[in-house]
Structure 1
């Protein structure tokens, strides 16, 4: 019985190690696809803090799920000191994730990030208070989170969602949408592959204000015409 259990544990550990190695390899490869500044493999290995943070996190996470105390948090803390990126060991991050630059990124304990996510600097995947249990967001596959965006609470972000820079998302977002603003609003449902130009983000509030101003000008013109007729 003990031999069988030991063999099962050994197989499980080997599978977990292979999974983590495959994830790290995917994290490494995706950088060359998404960052035109990535010139060679040595530069990426030595100079990309997002990749360093993910490597350290995958080590910490593998220890965390084995219920090792203290060491995973210590690895996370060292990663934060070295990279400026804070990822709790309990967070689950899919393979092929790219944290671009990454300074100020915070990913909470119960956050789940799908495969091939793109996360820019200053992003927070956090909670909204002192809740217990699942209190951080779940991101689907191929999600883009723009610089400075905050995704807060136990909410679900669907596959292929694009979140504009500086947005604050507090509600669930279905797949294949673009979200911008404070609070985040869906401004596009054009389907998979819809581009998000961070320098040309739509502004729904400005659109509404311009519409109101235009309507007021039309009413003022009509009022002037009526006054002219009456006089």
Structure 2
């Protein structure tokens, strides 16, 4: 237990550049406090002290803003950043070296007393506000985007974005320190509009070398230039 608690401190220091000392982490990080409380409550739960474990979990939720059921299974090296609003259900399983940001829910979709919460693989990153709902597995080394709603299994090494979550399987390893998340809808729309522009130009000129000017009085949506969509094309 002591080894695990010390690793929780080291993990927070390693993954949060704002952490300046181990003492600061021990005193000021509610995510670490929530994990410590969970580990004590889980120890009680596995030894049959169900009510004390639930009472301890309730006290920890009040003090830290994190609700972790004492029956959940959480591995080593887990980091809960900012902590507020995190909910981890009874049958949830979280692997080693997982990073969880604020507002994450590992919830269930069944009322049956069976396995109904997700299993999170090792080294997964759960973005702020992500909701993972159901008894399925999120594969190791995956990244769940902020506010994504995941309701089906995720292969290892994937990225999930959107509502409902769209799964992207990586064709190559994630670059070190890559913090970007793809915009599936935006990229697809940009690709489609680029193709339409080319087809319109080809139909207009017969060669495809010139860009066709709009012939109607209404606004025309064109692909973004430099990643910026022109605001005059939209009614907001």
Query: Do they fold alike, i.e. is TM over 0.5?
Result: yes
| 8 Å Cα contact 2:138-2:156 kept in structure 1 | yes
From 14, 29, 37, give the equivalent of 1:56.
Answer: 37
Is 1:127 paired with 2:108?
yes
Shift of 1:141: 1.1
- 1:168 corresponds to: 149
Q: Deviation per CA, 1:53-107: give whole Å up to 9, x if none.
A: 0010011111111121311111111111101011011111001111001100000
From 22, 27, 32, give the equivalent of 1:41.
Answer: 22
| 8 Å Cα contact 1:158-1:173 kept in structure 2 | yes
Q: 1:151 to 1:184 in 2, by over 3 A?
A: same
Q: Deviation per CA, 1:167-216: give whole Å up to 9, x if none.
A: 11111112222222222223341555545755x32111111222222333
| 8 Å Cα contact 1:187-1:204 kept in structure 2 | no
From 152, 156, 161, give the equivalent of 2:133.
Answer: 152
| 8 Å Cα contact 2:155-2:169 kept in structure 1 | no
Is 1:30 paired with 2:30?
no
From 177, 197, 201, give the equivalent of 1:217.
Answer: 197
- 2:182 corresponds to: 202
Structure 1 spans left out of the alignment, 5+ residues: 1-19, 227-231
Distance in 2 of aligned mates of 1:223 and 1:180: 36
1:65-214 paired onto structure 2 within 5 Å: 65-190=46-171, 193-195=174-176, 197-198=178-179, 200-214=180-194
Q: 1:220 to 1:191 in 2, by over 3 A?
A: closer
Structure 2 spans left out of the alignment, 5+ residues: 207-236
TM-score (ref. length: structure 2): 0.80
Distance in 2 of aligned mates of 1:206 and 1:66: 51
TM-score (ref. length: structure 1): 0.82
Distance in 2 of aligned mates of 1:197 and 1:163: 14
| 8 Å Cα contact 1:56-1:75 kept in structure 2 | yes
The range that moved more, 66-75 or 205-214, is: 205-214
Give secondary structure in 2 for the equivalent of 1:178: strand
- 2:229 corresponds to: none
